[in-house]
């Protein structure tokens, strides 16, 4: 394993070196100018760069307006998208002609996105038109950055701001590293998930700073082998696996690790959520470890009756089987008295749940923190504040 890893690492470093030494395609060479629309210039620069092995598309310092763009592969070889300036999306959703994204990277192998620049989604007008809190089947708004079927790639040192919907959406990707990204939107901006991952594998998120109006990180069905390390989250709804079980034929979720992260003033901490009355499904091998909670509501949560605003049928329990889950070394302060809720399904009770070394203090009136267990019998060890399963229901 160590030998294979070293070969992969060396290959990756050689790839980056080759990319950085490759041919440069500056949007200014294709008519792109600051304070103007560069949609055509970027499209032409990308097409030219994609036809060359080892190339770099550069958007230098400055502010640029950009319409909807699809940056499509496969390319001849490794390619870098180097954004040093700020890209501004159209404010009006009508400008997107029904598209559910603003910037899309599709079917590319060996992509690097870097440069320290900003994707400014200009979402303020769109948030007012978001009706997802009221409608079960709402129309989705444009995502800032989509990565679809991108492999062996790295996204680092970029910023996403005020997306109309999700900030970064990862779908059908494999071996993608996301490093040192900053994601910001107001705490009351609806559905502005920081990073959403679906049907992807071998994804790592490292040193991300995320503050939004929804989940900082959300993990959808069919996702395997995700590690989120050193993530700073807040404001937002926390770090979530799910929601799962809303649709037919969802694929299993497995191999999820959230390590060494800090959540502050979020509506939830680390959670797994599934819809009631769901089709059968599974989520297993999910671990949360070495996490600090600062004034977080619901710091530790399994919710198999997830039903936002009563938009769903809860006539029958969730059929998503949850197993092999651990919550270890989670400490800090809870803004709610009930600091740990493990609410599992009575159809498929949770199995192999481990709770170890928990120290969550409630700052409000009414005593110390409590916990609830429903349809789960966790294995408990180490410090237990609150004591696991203060209230039980099996």
Please list the active-site residues.
214, 237
Residues 6+ apart with CB under 8 A from 157: 114, 115, 116, 179, 180, 181
Q: Give the separation between CA 239 and CA 394, rounded to whole angstroms.
A: 27
């Amino acid at each position: 394993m160590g030998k294979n890893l070293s070969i992969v690492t060396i290959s990756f470093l050689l790839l980056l070196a080759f990319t950085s030494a490759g041919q440069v395609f500056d949007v200014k060479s294709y008519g792109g100018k600051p304070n103007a629309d560069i949609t055509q210039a970027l499209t032409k620069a990308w097409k030219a760069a994609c036809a060359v092995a080892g190339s770099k598309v550069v958007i230098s310092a400055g502010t640029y307006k950009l319409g909807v763009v699809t940056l499509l592969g496969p390319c001849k070889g490794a390619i870098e998208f180097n954004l040093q300036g700020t890209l501004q999306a159209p404010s009006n959703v009508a400008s997107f002609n029904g598209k559910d994204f603003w910037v899309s990277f599709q079917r590319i192998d060996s992509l690097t996105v870097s440069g320290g620049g900003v994707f400014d989604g200009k979402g303020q007008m769109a948030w007012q038109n978001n009706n997802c809190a009221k409608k079960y089947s709402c129309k989705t708004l444009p995502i800032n950055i989509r990565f679809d079927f991108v492999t062996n790639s790295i996204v680092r040192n970029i910023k996403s701001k005020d997306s109309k919907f999700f900030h970064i959406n990862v779908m059908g990707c494999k071996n993608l590293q996301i490093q040192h990204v900053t994601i910001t939107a107001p705490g009351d901006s609806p559905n502005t998930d920081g990073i959403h991952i679906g049907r992807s594998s071998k994804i790592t998120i490292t040193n991300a700073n995320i503050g939004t109006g929804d989940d900082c990180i959300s993990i959808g069905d069919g996702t395997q082998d995700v590690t989120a390390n050193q993530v700073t989250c807040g404001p937002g709804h926390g770090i979530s696996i799910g929601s799962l079980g809303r649709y037919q034929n969802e694929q299993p979720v497995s191999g999820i690790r959230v390590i060494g992260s800090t959540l502050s003033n979020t509506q939830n901490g680390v959670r797994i959520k599934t819809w009631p009355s769901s089709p059968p499904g599974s989520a297993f091998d999910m671990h949360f470890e070495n996490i600090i909670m600062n004034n977080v509501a619901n710091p530790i949560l399994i919710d198999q009756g997830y039903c936002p605003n009563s938009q769903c049928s809860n006539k029958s329990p969730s059929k998503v089987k949850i197993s092999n889950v651990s919550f270890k070394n989670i400490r800090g302060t809870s803004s709610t008295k009930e600091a740990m809720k493990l609410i599992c399904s009575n159809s498929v009770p949770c199995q192999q749940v481990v709770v170890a070394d928990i120290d969550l203090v409630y700052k409000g009136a009414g005593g110390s923190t409590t916990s609830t267990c429903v349809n789960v019998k966790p294995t408990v060890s180490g410090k237990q504040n609150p004591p696991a399963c203060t209230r039980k229901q099996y």
